[in-house]
């Protein structure tokens, strides 16, 4: 049984492979299909983008495809950046640009509650795509801390921890993160498929 993971983000791919036990599957990623153009993520929800990526890669390769879209949702900012998390500071922006914008937007605000949320979609030939999701709650701290992880990790401290995602060892983050929780849900809902039984 083969599965394509719909991402060209090496950090995300490494994290998914570290979290999930794909023993029953032969794993590929978008890197293995350079001729297939990137999917334009123009959905207005995380779910829409995840489904679009999974469906388009499934159609292009003829293989089952797993895709996710993740976002940081900040209470004081009305849930932003949300679906725009990766490109919040504009096309071609860096992680540093986005983190700097987040700190500016939260300057002087006392409510710094936030959640990371991941929606994962599985598309299989001739079947309707399905989705699951996972989230982790925490707070946005006032300065960057840590050099692990990527994205907003240096500013996000999960509830129950005194270190940011970027300070936690990878094995700890990969146990408690939004992506880990979405993959746990995927393992439960799509267990037969992931074990190569259907």
pLDDT digits (tens, 9 = 90+) for 28-72: 889 999 898 888 888 999 999 999 999 999 999 999 999 999 999
- Reported as type and span, the H/E element at residue 100 is helix 95-105
Contacts for 46 with CB less than 8 Å, ≥ 6 apart: 69, 70, 71, 82, 83, 117, 118, 119, 133
- pLDDT of 196 > 70? The answer is no
Task: Write out the CATH class of domain 2-194.
Answer: alpha beta
165 phi and psi angles, rounded to 5 deg:
-55, -35
Question: Could you list the active site residues?
Answer: 69
Residues 44, 61: Cα–Cα separation, whole Å: 25
Residues 45, 49: Cα–Cα separation, whole Å: 7
pLDDT value for 192: 77
Residues 37, 8: Cα–Cα separation, whole Å: 11
pLDDT value for 9: 82
| Residue ranges per structural domain of the chain | 2-194
Residue 36 vs residue 160, higher pLDDT: 160
Residues 53, 170: Cα–Cα separation, whole Å: 26
What confidence tier does 11 reach under pLDDT thresholds 50, 70, 90?
confident
């Amino acid at each position: 049984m083969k599965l394509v993971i719909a991402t060209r983000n090496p950090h995300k791919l490494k994290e998914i492979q570290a979290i999930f036990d794909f023993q029953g599957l032969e794993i590929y990623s978008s890197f293995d299909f350079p001729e297939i153009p990137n999917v334009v993520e123009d959905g207005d929800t995380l779910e829409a983008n995840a489904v679009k990526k999974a469906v388009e890669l499934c159609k292009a390769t003829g293989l089952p495809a797993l895709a996710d879209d993740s976002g940081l949702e900040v209470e004081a900012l009305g849930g932003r950046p949300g679906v725009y998390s990766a490109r919040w500071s504009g096309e071609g922006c860096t992680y540093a640009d986005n983190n700097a914008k987040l700190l500016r937007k939260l300057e002087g605000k006392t409510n710094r509650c936030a959640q990371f949320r991941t929606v994962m979609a599985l598309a299989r030939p001739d079947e309707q795509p399905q989705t699951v999701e996972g989230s982790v709650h925490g707070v946005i701290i006032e300065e960057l801390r840590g050099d692990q992880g990527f994205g907003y990790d240096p500013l996000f401290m999960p509830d129950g921890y005194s270190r940011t995602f970027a300070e936690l060892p990878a094995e700890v983050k990969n146990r408690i993160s939004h992506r880990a929780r979405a993959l746990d849900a995927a393992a439960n809902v799509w267990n037969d498929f992931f074990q190569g039984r259907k």
